[in-house]
Structure 1
Amino acid sequence: MQDISGIPSAGQQLINGYGDGGFRVSGVKYYGSVVVLPEKTLLWDVVAIANLSVESLNALNAADVKVEILLIGCGATMAFIDTDIRNSCRDKGIVIDAMDTGAAVRTYNVLLLEGRQVAAALVAV
């Protein structure tokens, strides 16, 4: 598992590590894909980026926090996100940035620690 370090504020969800089919977020191990919001982490049923849909991002709609940036960790390699998914998020004021999962984890931590309104939808690697 790749370790990531940083000091979050109380209650913030910092991603401590990833790999081996899961993630360690704020010291808790999650197996499979996850959606990480600034103050909570949810299991995510997307096992491959090909399964990504507007509906699979409904966890963001239920979030109590305003998300401005959504990082999508596509797995081992970056993939393009369909226009309908991008447009759906844009209509809610959310900008999507897609990259491989490792890069999304690192970027999420940096943006979170900067105080940005960021979330990450991460396909497990």
Structure 2
Amino acid sequence: MNNGRLYDGFLPGRYPFDAYGNGGFRFADMSHRGSLLALPSGIRAWPINSVAELTDEALDPIFAESNELELLLFGTGTDIVAFPAAFRARFRDAGISLDVMQTGAAARTYNILLAENRKVGAALIAVP
């Protein structure tokens, strides 16, 4: 039962990004407004609009799949911003490499590494 919603914000499987901008992303013949997590299990809506909004809870879905991830690309929006040291330590402790960059670069890099069948994920903050 979907409680009247058309979707639950999750698409199982791994898909490249076709486009980004205008506050969202295009992938798998669909579009989504807002930020996304692209993890080995699938792509899910992510209620984060800036690095300043990050919490341990917001990062939990990433660490739940740490056995399937070697690298997480973190797209910070239109500008590269400092990633909090405490969160960097959490990635290091989980054995996940972290690469922080603009969202566009993260989406493009994700597509390349996904095509190479790498153990990659992406946390992408939507850009206007």
**Same fold, TM exceeding 0.5?**
yes
User: Secondary structure of 2:126's partner?
Assistant: coil
User: Secondary structure of 1:88's partner?
Assistant: helix
User: Secondary structure of 1:36's partner?
Assistant: strand
What's the counterpart of residue 31 of structure 1? 33
Among 37, 43, 46, the alignment partner of 1:44 is 46
1:101/1:123 contact within 8 Å kept: yes
Could you state the TM-score of these two structures normalised by the residue count of structure 2? 0.83
What's the counterpart of residue 80 of structure 2? 78
Partner amino acid, structure 1, of 2:124: L
What's the counterpart of residue 7 of structure 1? none
User: Residues 7-63 of structure 1, C-alpha deviation per residue, up to 9 Å, x if partnerless?
Assistant: xxxx43111110110011222211100001244100001111211233211111333
Structure 1 residues not aligned, in runs of 5+: 1-10
What's the counterpart of residue 18 of structure 1? 20
Q: CA deviation at 1:97?
A: 0.5
Identical amino acids, percent of aligned pairs: 41
User: Secondary structure of 2:113's partner?
Assistant: helix
Task: Tell me the distance in 2 between the aligned counterparts of 1:78 and 1:15.
Answer: 20
- Poorly superposed stretches of 4+, deviation over 6 Å: none
Could you state the TM-score of these two structures normalised by the residue count of structure 1? 0.84
Greater Cα radius of gyration, structure 1 or 2: 2
Partner amino acid, structure 2, of 1:91: D
Task: Tell me the distance in 2 between the aligned counterparts of 1:21 and 1:47.
Answer: 10
Task: Tell me the distance in 2 between the aligned counterparts of 1:63 and 1:28.
Answer: 24
Moved more, 48-57 or 89-98: 48-57
What's the counterpart of residue 103 of structure 1? 105
1:54/1:84 contact within 8 Å kept: no
Task: Tell me the distance in 2 between the aligned counterparts of 1:19 and 1:41.
Answer: 17
Q: Report how many aligned residue pairs link the two structures.
A: 115
